[in-house]
Amino acid sequence: GAVVSQHPSWVICKSGTSVKIECRSLDFQATTMFWYRQFPKQSLMLMATSNEGSKATYEQGVEKDKFLINHASLTLSTLTVTSAHPEDSSFYICSARQGMAEAFFGQGTRLTVV
């Protein structure tokens, strides 16, 4: 199947700093990319949906100035957690779709803010 690569797999950062997470579709053009946050033993919480070349659509309660999403090309989307705080510590995972085809997930990023 298609491959979505997400980096880094884990990151530890100091409170107040920013962290960028990359999501790449390696062998298909991702017309839509999704960013999720997953708490332990819970479902996937959609943060935002992004289409290539346009602004991301954020879900209610997600601060767009804190979680910056860029979908600059059909194969790359980035999520930047700005001014990170301990409560931002979580598992972030992206997925990518081409049209209405199957969604493929990245391997996720474990963010720990200390």
Residues that bind another protein (CB under 8 A): 1, 31-32, 34, 41-44, 46, 49, 51, 57, 93, 95, 97, 99-100, 102-108
Q: Note the residue count of the chain.
A: 114
Nearest to 73 by CA among 20, 31, 14: 31
Rounded least distance, CB 3 to another protein, Å? 11
Please report how many Cα atoms fall inside a 13 Å half-sphere around the Cα of residue 13, on the Cβ side: 24
Cβ–Cβ < 8 Å for 51, 98: no
Q: Residue 57 has which token pair? A: 């659509």
- What CA–CA distance (Å, rounded) separates 50 from 8? 20
Amino acid found at 7: H
Whichever of 34 and 67 has its CB closer to another protein, that residue is: 34
